[in-house]
Amino acid sequence: MTKQDAHTPSSATSESRELGWHKGYLSGSRADLRVPVRRVHLTSGKDVTLYDTSGPYTDPAIETDVRRGLPPLRQNWIIERDDTEEYAGRELRPEDDGIRHTTPRGGAVPHGRAAGAGLDGLDAVFPGRARRPRRGREDTGGRSAVSQLAYAKRGLVTPEMEYVAVRENRAPEFVRDEIAAGRAVLPANINHPESEPMIIGRAFLVKVNANIGNSAVTSSIEEEVEKMTWATRWGADTVMDLSTGRNIHTTREWVLRNSPVPIGTVPLYQALEKVNGKAEELSWEVYKDTVVEQCEQGVDYMTVHAGVLLRYVPLTARRRTGIVSRGGSIMAAWCLAHHEESFLYTHFSELCEILRTYDVTFSLGDGLRPGCVADANDEAQMAELETLGELNRIARSHDVQTMIEGPGHVPMHKIKENIDRQQEVCDEAPFYTLGPLTTDVAPGYDHITSGIGAAMIGWWGTAMLCYVTPKEHLGLPDRDDVKTGVITYKIAAHAADVAKGHPGAQDWDDALSDARFEFRWEDQFNLALDPETARSFHDETLPAEGAKVAHFCSMCGPKFCSMKISRSINERFGLDAGEERPLDEEEIQAGMLAKSREFAEAGNRVYLPLTD
């Protein structure tokens, strides 16, 4: 993977040249609204414009430094709205980084640059500029909601909405209306101004999330930041930081300050660290403290397993694989230990009041999702979904943007019921599914078992697909696994966009197919989802540079290239590929006869020499 190892932010310049594309921008109604796109250069001189998630790292004009973080592109838009305030923010504590109370000097420390400075064993404090957190300003009856949903309901089109409108080639008012109706979310915490606005909803391009995160077992901060930039380089629309080990807070700080895409988390994981992993010691207070901590850092959406109710836990007892969601099983254990209803459920409105003042989006977790095809669509799963529908309505009444998480392991014939039920029960809120995996028998290949289900459920209306890597069930994904997972899910998402007839989605396929038909190898490579891999596979068989313009494809060899023959058929009809004018019978017959004579005169040579 030496070629790929070159794709670090620092080498973006040389990379984009070598890849035959450059970073371009579409402009909006204001100078500071520039929407990044990937412009692929065709040999014809024309460009093909593709959606781009890679952030400033692929713009040679912008010098990036992971130690400083990305420029806060949304900062002015947020300030302009004049409904937020800066404040001191919550104090950072050693346990925020999973440091036990055994450290001698482990007291409270100020927020920002000095965060955790000098704490024993804190591995890599983020050195970037200190930034005080913002929140919605005090208003009649609590703090004002500064969510895109609140603005949309009031009929406002924010710069964020215009940004995604340009990005998705839709009208800004359409974007606003989809958000206002709760059919789409635009995750954009006011404390993550570095993120480039994107939208998640069934009326828009199907999105892909990539999970990263260190665990108690392995991985480091640098690796996670690297995985994040690597995932967005290949097309991840959002990234979830699922870190569970040491340095959770600091790792998240590094990831957020350097991320051009929205970042999601599961606050419960960090809360559990704060109580030394003892689920029964979890409390609303510890959880709330963790949520505020993450809201101030800039987390854009949070998975909350508030649908795991005490009465649902017994429904999982006779399952084949019980509860497989981490958050779900932690809450189930808490409920069992206390014999009380989940604090996430009983304090849900309070939680909404917090999230609305930072514009953090809910991702209501499916803690009872099936962990094998045998458990798919069972009573426990469907009961939880009903509760998620109830919570979605509560969140909406608080102006908190909300999406709903879905399974999991589901055989093909049971997939459609999932999206149909969810859309009905959750008032068309965006569905965000993990896979689903269509069979349990292929550990090591679950990016494929799940890519199949992901493409199908995307076609049927799922708004975002959470990737699965080859390491699922087996280990933590490394850099190559992250790439494989993202590419596989971009395939599923794009196949879904094409099947949905999403405006313009098939243009990409058509451009690549034209290049294939016309033997423009370089154009094929540059248009490919993964140019390096396409190019290297081709070169293995025909290493010569010349082969890339030769009029035969490497699969068949000189004499067997059907594309070549087919082209000569078109030539006989005096047609270019894709010419629209219909031919009448006479023209065709005349053309055929004339061409058959030429054919003979040309010495009946079906295959032209490679040099032509």
Residues 186-225 that bind its own copies (CB under 8 A): 215-218
Q: Name which of 279 and 355 has its Cβ closer to its own copies.
A: 279
Among 394, 442, 590, 608, binds its own copies (CB under 8 A): 442
1 carries a ligand binding annotation: no
Instruction: Please state, in angstroms and rounded to a whole number, the distance separating the CA atoms of residues 236 and 476.
Output: 18
How long is the chain?
612
Which residues, at least 6 apart from 551, have a Cβ–Cβ distance to it below 8 Å? 519, 561, 564, 567, 608, 610, 612
Bond before 436 cis per omega within 30 degrees: yes
520 in contact with its own copies (CB under 8 A): no
Which residues, at least 6 apart from 404, have a Cβ–Cβ distance to it below 8 Å? 363, 364, 366, 385, 388, 392, 422, 426, 429, 430, 431, 432
3 in contact with its own copies (CB under 8 A): no
Helix, strand, coil percent content, the chain, rounded in steps of 5: 45, 10, 45
432 carries a ligand binding annotation: yes
Binding string, 15-34, against its own copies, x = CB under 8 A? --------------------
Residues 373-412 that bind its own copies (CB under 8 A): 373-374, 411-412
Structural tokens at position 296: 């101030």
Minimum distance from CB of 373 to its own copies (Å)?
5
Q: Which window, 5-13, 167-175, 425-433, 555-563, contacts its own copies (CB under 8 A)? A: 555-563
556 carries a ligand binding annotation: yes
Q: Name which of 165 and 454 has its Cβ closer to its own copies.
A: 454
3-state secondary structure 78-135: HHHCCCEEECCCCCECHHHHCCCCCCCCCCCECCCCCCCCCCCCCCCCCCCCCCCCEE
Q: Name which of 33 and 203 has its Cβ closer to its own copies.
A: 203
Query: How many residues belong to the site for its own copies (CB under 8 A)?
Result: 134
Structural tokens at position 277: 């992993």
Q: Name which of 353 and 480 has its Cβ closer to its own copies.
A: 480
Q: Name which of 112 and 264 has its Cβ closer to its own copies.
A: 264
Among 22, 34, 473, 502, binds its own copies (CB under 8 A): 473
409 carries a ligand binding annotation: yes
Instruction: Please state, in angstroms and rounded to a whole number, the distance separating the CA atoms of residues 523 and 537.
Output: 15
Instruction: Please state, in angstroms and rounded to a whole number, the distance separating the CA atoms of residues 151 and 239.
Output: 25
Is the CB of residue 92 less than 8 Å from the CB of residue 297?
no
Residues 233-272 that bind its own copies (CB under 8 A): 244-245, 269, 272
86 carries a ligand binding annotation: no
Is the CB of residue 256 less than 8 Å from the CB of residue 194?
yes
Three-state secondary-structure class, residue 7: coil
496 in contact with its own copies (CB under 8 A): yes
Which residues, at least 6 apart from 557, have a Cβ–Cβ distance to it below 8 Å? none
526 in contact with its own copies (CB under 8 A): no
Among 501, 544, 586, 601, binds its own copies (CB under 8 A): 501
Is the CB of residue 97 less than 8 Å from the CB of residue 250?
yes
Q: Name the phi and psi angles at 228, rounded to 5.
A: -65, -50
Helix 348-356 vs helix 284-297: crossing angle, to nearest 10: 20
Q: Which window, 52-60, 180-188, 425-433, 519-527, contacts its own copies (CB under 8 A)? A: 519-527
Among 537, 549, 594, 602, binds its own copies (CB under 8 A): 537
Residues 58-117 that bind its own copies (CB under 8 A): none
Minimum distance from CB of 307 to its own copies (Å)?
15
Q: Name which of 153 and 473 has its Cβ closer to its own copies.
A: 473
**Which long-range CB contacts under 8 A does 552-555 form with residues at least 24 apart?**
552/519, 552/607, 552/610, 553/519
Minimum distance from CB of 42 to its own copies (Å)?
15
Q: Which window, 35-43, 201-209, 275-283, 380-388, contacts its own copies (CB under 8 A)? A: 275-283
Three-state secondary-structure class, residue 170: coil
Residues 566-585 that bind its own copies (CB under 8 A): 566-570, 572-573, 575, 577-580, 582-583
Residues 298-357 that bind its own copies (CB under 8 A): 313-314, 316-326, 328-330, 332-333, 336-337, 339
Q: Which window, 8-16, 395-403, 419-427, 561-569, contacts its own copies (CB under 8 A)? A: 561-569
The closest alpha carbon to 277, from 150, 100, 135, belongs to 100
Which residues, at least 6 apart from 175, have a Cβ–Cβ distance to it below 8 Å? 157, 161, 162, 164, 165, 168, 184, 186, 199
**Binding-site residue ranges:** 211, 240, 269, 305, 325-327, 366-369, 405, 409, 432, 473, 553, 556, 561
**Binding-site residue ranges for [4Fe-4S] cluster:** 553, 556, 561
